[in-house]
Amino acid sequence: MTNQAPRPAPARPASSIHYNGAGSEWGEVGELIRRFCADRGRHGFRLGGRELNGHLFIDHGRVIHAEYGEDFGLNAILKLLRAGPMRLESWRGAWPRQASIQLPPERLLDKVAPIGSLLDTRVVRKVLLPTEHTEPAEPARRSAPPAARQRARPAADVSSARAAHGPPTTMVRLTMRGRVLTARGKDARRVAEAAALIHALAQLIAADLGRRGTPAVHVRGREKSLLVLRSEVNDIAAACGSTRRLASLIGRAGL
Amino acid sequence: MTREGVLQLLHDVEGVVGTFIADGQGELLAQLCPPEISEPALRRTALRLARIMRCADLCELDVRRCDLRFDRYQLLVWRFAGGVLGVLARAPVKKRALGMAARLVVREIQPVLFAAASEAEDEVTSQYPSTRRSRDNVS
């Protein structure tokens, strides 16, 4: 069941994340976790990265759920912590029906300590919002510690890895009423429309067959797949792209 | 073998609750389902599945499979030339066994479906001998 209880607005932190709970600011997810777990409050965030978006939910000093791109739970946290500065917005939508992470923040942050020495700096810079079609904010990268710089792969490597898996996955999120929340990738509008219809039809099929539960749909083509399911925050999530790329997500959806 | 007889092959796989076959437009052709799933409900399901597949085709998918999961049940659909085969199964689904059984059923069912289609065609062409003659000449 979705928890729709009213939530207190995020407390204004005294750290380098100048987050006021209303607009959007940029900061590191590690610092966000430290900051908002400390006040033992209830905070939901939408996180916008250069490539992927995510959500982070903190309750009583613990991160209870995270989503990032096609990942959720601990995998999402690990990727969020490595993702660099992200745009932070207060999440006012539905909360996850159940927690996917049970670790306290210190354990979570320990998990990335060997690879994320940048978390030890406890310094998070506020960066400017990047404009459309521009390269990532260079100053933040330049001042990153050596370990973080080593992790950055050359652009050629990244593009060849992407080419091996085919074009990027189109991902959309819709409210139950069909309003598009986020969308990225080729033909995102068409995928959003298809997802809305497929989700509605799947619900009718479930009702006709007398089966309860939220339907998840995987339509598989020769090389591409379309996945439509309800996300942990109770909206409709759809992904359309290479079946190989979507394999882990399909497996987690139990399809 | 009848269509229902062919579908019975799938019920040997553990967890299979019901099976059906529909044509490409979503018209129900045969079914072997428990009584709690009514035929009108199954007809609607077949139509909706056809719509889901057409919808995915518009997203340039060239659909071959369609799987739906509802809690502990899965509806697995295989598309083949001339129709779709649907299998309602209870988790845990033995997908490999089910996949092979579905392949066998598709292989068995196609001649049965095509035979029925050609019989229907013969009923029409027998009323128009000239049409039948020209078709025989071609073959």
Residues of A in contact with B51 (CB under 8 A): 197, 201
**Distances A242 to A162, A168, A169, A239 between C-alpha atoms, Å:** 11, 8, 7, 10
Residue type, A20: N
Q: Which residue of B has its CA nearest to A203?
A: B70
Residue type, A175: T
Q: Considering only CA atoms, which of B45, B50, B73 is closest in space to residue B63?
A: B50
Residues of B in contact with A213 (CB under 8 A): 69-73
Q: How far is A199 from chain B (nearest CA, A)?
A: 9
Tell me which of B57, B70, B73, B78 to substitute to probe the interface with A (most A C-beta atoms closer than 10 Å): B70
Q: Is the peptide bond before A6 cis (omega within 30 degrees of 0)?
A: no
Q: Which candidate from A190, A215, A220 shows the least CB-CB separation from B65?
A: A220
Res A216: pLDDT: 93
Judged by CB atoms closer than 8 Å, whether chains meet at A205 and B60 is answered as no
Res B123: pLDDT: 55
Q: Considering only CA atoms, which of A189, A171, A186, A167 is closest in space to residue A229?
A: A171
Q: What is the pLDDT along chain A (255 residues), one digit of tens a residue?
A: 344 444 443 434 434 455 555 556 778 888 888 888 888 888 888 888 877 888 888 888 888 888 888 777 877 888 888 787 888 888 888 888 777 777 777 666 665 544 333 333 333 333 343 333 433 334 444 444 544 444 445 555 545 555 555 678 899 998 888 888 888 888 899 999 999 999 999 999 999 988 877 889 999 998 899 999 988 778 899 999 999 888 888 888 888
Q: How far is A225 from chain B (nearest CA, A)?
A: 7
Judged by CB atoms closer than 8 Å, whether chains meet at B71 and A225 is answered as no
CB < 8 Å from A in window 63-82 of B: 63-75
Which two structure tokens, joined as six digits, stand for B12?
């040997």
- Percent of the residues in chain B that have a pLDDT greater than 90, as a whole number: 55
Res A80: pLDDT: 84
Q: Which region, left, alpha or beta, applies to residue B95 given φ > 0 means left and ψ of -120 to 50 means alpha?
A: alpha
Residue B48 near chain A (CB below 8 Å): yes
Judged by CB atoms closer than 8 Å, whether chains meet at A209 and B62 is answered as no
Which two structure tokens, joined as six digits, stand for A199?
């989700």
Res A205: pLDDT: 93
Residues of B in contact with A224 (CB under 8 A): 59-62
Residues of B in contact with A251 (CB under 8 A): none
Q: How confident is the model at residue B34 (pLDDT cuts 50, 70, 90)?
A: very high
Res A159: pLDDT: 53
Which tens digits make up the pLDDT trace of B57-100? 998 898 999 999 988 899 999 999 889 999 999 988 888 899 99
